[in-house]
Amino acid sequence: MANTDEQVVSDGEVQVVAFKLRNEEYGFSILNVQEIKGLTDITRVPFAPEFIKGVINLRGSVLPVIDLKRRLGLEDTPYTANTRIVIVQFDEVSVGMLVDAVTEVRTIDANDIDSTRAVTGNDAAARFISGIGKVDGRLIIQLNINEIIGLTGEE
Amino acid sequence: METNQYMEMFLDESREHLQSLNDGLLSLENDPEDLSVLNEIFRNAHTLKGMSATMGYTKTAELTHDMENLLDMLRKEQLKVSSEIIDVIFKCVDTLQEMVENIGSGESEDLVDVSDLVRQVNAIAKGESPDAGAPATDAPASAADAPAAGGTAFALNDTDRAVMKEAKTSGLVPYLIHVEIAESCLLKSARSYMVMNALDDISDVIKSVPPAEDLEQEKFDHSFDVAIVTDSDAKTVENAVAAISEISKVVVTEITDLDSPAVGGEAPEAAPAPVEEAPKAAAPEKVDHKKDNKPAPAADKKDAKKVHVGGQSVRVDIEKLDTLMNLVGELVTNKVRLEQIGMTHRLTELTETLEQMDRVTTDLQSVVMKVRMVPVSQVFNRFPRMVRDLAKELNKDINLTIEGEETELDRTVIDEIGDPLMHLLRNSLDHGVEHPDEREAKGKPRTGEVGLIARHEGNNVVILVTDDGSGINADKIRNKAVEKGMISRDEADALPDADAVRLIFLPGFSTAEVITDVSGRGVGMDVVRSKIESLGGHVDVETKIDEGSVFKIKLPLTLAIIQAMLVKVQDEMYAIPLGSIDSTINITPDDIKTVQNKEVIVLRGQIIPIARLGEILSVPKGEETGEEDIFVVVVHVGDHKIGIVVDNLIGQQEIVIKTLGKLLSGLKMLAGATVLGDGHVAMILDVSALL
């Protein structure tokens, strides 16, 4: 079972793949990240939920891609040379996440991760966030993959 | 002995044998005189017994054994085949099936109570009616059991005796050795071979029962007897044999009376002579049993062996095949990419190599496809039994004809098609075919004909369920539909008969006036339809009053690869399954007319509504091309036609269907996606959702 608890790699440390959405930094647990892919053609899927950008061909399999900015209620930005698709796996479901840029793989001390309660300004997006990590004065917002994929609830 | 690894094999083979038993019994019922059928049934029962005993399922083995005894009596015409006996044997088969399934699901075989059935079987064997006998009368069974458990009358012919006598004069002692091999032994033939070898070293083997070649081919239960002459004493012989592993019992007896034709090979601690204990009625049968039983199955098994050699096969997990299929798909996509690289960079050498590779991958693909195909007989073969039982239950005379059972379909389709077919057959039997008296009154033969026919039709497989019954009364259907509020009276009256009959496929429709066990719960035909449509197929019905009905199921050969027409709307590419395409036409904007604000075209005198794909799928609008030509793909769903307006026709192509995954499941209008040769993904349209 892959879930956010597994972020703890060893003795209260968490490894995250950090990436940018607009000018904020976010992160997925590295345990959920399968690979990072450059932007390829995304085929629109009619009647799909709005936050699903479309599907891509990942070595012969058809994979849905979630537009993370749209999912988190952030404003849209055009694609750049840095735009990436982060392929994450959760409960045997593989999904691509469209992000503006992948910055680095960071190790964060568990003590440096705050629960979200303190900062949930935007209620709608709060359920997507599992914690906020502080590294060298930067904030990396930890995302709850389960909620983002939205296989539970919602439907 | 670890038997788990053999469990799958045991289950598979048991199921096969039970199926053959079912088939055999059905044909026996039709032709009770047919001895070859009876022999085959016997052979199946015998093998089943051996297998279950080997695996340690004693109850299963016991029931099979009793059943085998009964069959043996039928075979030797000590009993006459009657429907009563067949029913009991059918019951045995059903019970065995249940036991095997229990074993398969990891439960105990003991969950099924067989005592009553065993009593019935034994009662028949004793010549009583199956209901009469009390549990105490299972003597014949135990008597018949005896040869397997205890000694065997060992028939020595004159030559054998002469040899032994001569040996005796030269100081050798003739012995009879009874060897029992452990029930758990999996390689009985190897053990018997070792026994014979050991005996060869210390003695001269005169004879064995069963004969040596049968021993080598495992044509014996768990024991065999050997007659030898030797200069060693009984103890040495016994030790030599007992030293071999998995030998549970060795009894060495000296043959003293060389003049009597039969030599009793009775084990000292075995049950007292069964011949004396068995009731008189059973006694003669027992003797026959011993003499005829052994050689007969041996002879039969030779035929079985032949068949085996003809088609060697390997059982493969379907998941592995799926993986293989995916890998081949990936290979093909990569190959196309390589081809493009070769083209762009004008690498002739690469292009030439790729042409070779293309041939190989195409072959590979078709082989993998073929591997996934299984004959429909896998589904069909369970129906004769069902039809027989149901016909009895309904008091109808039914003759089921099966055709084209060798037609092959993708494994996944085969797995799903069973239930819908069963439902259609049940319907035909229950509602279609009339009672014999009624049929006679109508001037039809008393026996109703029900057909199950499979055949290829282009890229599809068609399965027909036909009956020569009363047909479906369109007016009745109309009334029912109105009564149920499914359509208005006016709508109903306006419907042509053929369409009215199709109302039975709508949810919540059931015409049976009395709800029977068989059909008519109102969850019938619509379930059949939705199941078949989920398989990418289509079901239709044709009927004529008093002449019968034909249900026609059209199925794609495979679910994985289909022929499709690729179309373009703005910049988006879509695939429309070729199976549902009627024609493609080229029109101008003037050809589009409106009827009640709905756009239609007239094609060969037929008014066809049109749907603009771009609007339906809300494709982002590009620039107006201002093109005069409009492409229309006319598709059909059942008898309905609809024209899909697209911007461009790209062409026809074989596509591999991929699911959209959990996240995007259940989207309307989409049947899945496919990866095109250039690596792009295209959506596959579900045409039936357009209506």
pLDDT in tens, B225-282: 888 888 888 888 888 888 777 788 888 888 777 665 544 444 444 444 444 444 444 4
The answer on B391 and B538 residing in a single domain is: yes
DSSP string, B313-340: -----HHHHHHHHHHHHHHHHHHHHHHH
Please indicate if any CB of chain A lies within 8 Å of the CB of B683.
Answer: yes
The answer on B101 and B23 residing in a single domain is: yes
User: How many residues in chain B?
Assistant: 691
Strands A13-21 and A101-109: antiparallel
At B595-630, the pLDDT tens digits run 888 899 988 888 999 999 988 888 887 766 666 788
At B7-18, the pLDDT tens digits run 777 888 888 888
Tell me: pLDDT of B117 over 60. Answer: yes
Domain that holds residue A23: 4-149
Q: Is residue B258 in some structural domain?
A: yes
> Å from A147 to nearest chain B CA?
12
- Per-residue model confidence (pLDDT) at position B373: 83
Cα–Cα distance, B569 to B614 (Å, whole number): 6
Please indicate if any CB of chain A lies within 8 Å of the CB of B330.
Answer: yes
* Under 8 Å between Cβ of B257 and B263: yes
Tell me: pLDDT of B185 over 80. Answer: no
- Per-residue model confidence (pLDDT) at position B249: 81
Q: Is residue A109 in some structural domain?
A: yes
CATH number for the domain spanning B541: value is 3.30.565.10
Query: What residues form DSSP beta bridges with A8?
Result: A14
Of all residues in chain B, the percent with pLDDT exceeding 70 is 82
Please indicate if any CB of chain A lies within 8 Å of the CB of B621.
Answer: no
The answer on B201 and B104 residing in a single domain is: no
Q: Is residue A123 in some structural domain?
A: yes
> Å from A67 to nearest chain B CA?
14
Amino acid at site B653: Q
Please indicate if any CB of chain A lies within 8 Å of the CB of B542.
Answer: no
The answer on B133 and B156 residing in a single domain is: no
Q: Which of A59, A61, A149 minimises the CB distance to B663?
A: A149
Q: Is residue B295 in some structural domain?
A: no
Mean pLDDT of chain B: 77
Query: What residues form DSSP beta bridges with A66?
Result: A52, A97
pLDDT band per the 50, 70, 90 thresholds, residue B129 = low
State chain A's maximal CA–CA distance in angstroms.
Answer: 46
Domain that holds residue B209: 151-270
CB spacing of B675 vs A62 below 8 angstroms: yes
The answer on B190 and B83 residing in a single domain is: no
Q: Is residue A41 in some structural domain?
A: yes
- Per-residue model confidence (pLDDT) at position A65: 95
- Per-residue model confidence (pLDDT) at position B298: 40
B670: nearest CA partner in chain A: A46
- Per-residue model confidence (pLDDT) at position A101: 93
Q: Is residue A154 in some structural domain?
A: no
Residue B14's SS3 state is: helix
Which of B148, B181, B196 is the C-terminal boundary of a domain?
B148
Which of B148, B166, B190 is the C-terminal boundary of a domain?
B148
- B326 as an active site residue: the answer is no
pLDDT band per the 50, 70, 90 thresholds, residue B301 = very low
**Domain count across chain A:** 1
User: How many residues in chain A?
Assistant: 155
Looking from the CA of B165 toward its CB, the CA atoms found within 13 Å total 11
Cα–Cα distance, B12 to B9 (Å, whole number): 5
Q: Is residue A76 in some structural domain?
A: yes
DSSP string, B197-253: HHHHHHSEEEEEES-HHHHHTT-SSSEEEEEEEESS-HHHHHHHHHTSTTEEEEEEE
The answer on B324 and B204 residing in a single domain is: no
Cα–Cα distance, B344 to A87 (Å, whole number): 30
The answer on B364 and B407 residing in a single domain is: no
The answer on B518 and B387 residing in a single domain is: yes
Whole-complex ipTM: 0.85
Residue tagged active-site, from B40, B68, B180, B416: B68
Q: Is residue A155 in some structural domain?
A: no
- Per-residue model confidence (pLDDT) at position A66: 94
The answer on B405 and B496 residing in a single domain is: yes
Provide the Cα torsion B663, B669, B674, B680; round to 10°. Answer: -90
pLDDT digit string (tens) for chain A, length 155 residues: 444 444 444 557 889 999 999 889 999 999 999 999 999 889 999 988 889 999 998 877 889 999 999 988 888 889 899 999 999 998 878 999 999 999 999 888 888 887 765 555 556 667 788 888 888 888 898 888 888 887 654 43
Q: Is residue A52 in some structural domain?
A: yes
The answer on B341 and B397 residing in a single domain is: no
Q: Which of B326, B670, B674 minimises the CB distance to A46?
A: B670
The answer on B259 and B138 residing in a single domain is: no
Please indicate if any CB of chain A lies within 8 Å of the CB of B675.
Answer: yes
Q: Which of B667, B668, B680 minimises the CB distance to A41?
A: B680
Tell me: pLDDT of B632 over 90. Answer: yes
- Per-residue model confidence (pLDDT) at position B61: 81
The stretch B328-344 carries a mean pLDDT of: 78
E strand or H helix at B175, and its extent? strand B173-181
Contacts of A64 in chain B (CB under 8 A): 660-661, 663-664
Q: Which of A44, A47, A55 minimises the CB distance to B669?
A: A47
The answer on B418 and B520 residing in a single domain is: yes
Q: Please tell me what DSSP assigns to residue B578.
A: G
Which of B114, B148, B182 is the C-terminal boundary of a domain?
B148
- Per-residue model confidence (pLDDT) at position A33: 93
Omega within 30 of 0 (cis) for the link into B609: no
**Domain count across chain B:** 5
At B476-523, the pLDDT tens digits run 888 888 888 878 888 888 888 888 888 888 776 765 444 444 444 444
Q: Is residue B164 in some structural domain?
A: yes
Residue showing tokens 């051996």? B50
Residue showing tokens 């690498």? B347
Contacts of B617 in chain A (CB under 8 A): 46-47
* Under 8 Å between Cβ of B250 and B178: yes
Distances (CA, A) of B655 to A26, A56, A85, B562, B609: 39, 16, 26, 6, 28
Q: Is residue A119 in some structural domain?
A: yes
- Per-residue model confidence (pLDDT) at position B558: 63
CATH number for the domain spanning B572: value is 2.40.50.180
CATH number for the domain spanning A129: value is 2.40.50.180
A46: nearest CA partner in chain B: B617
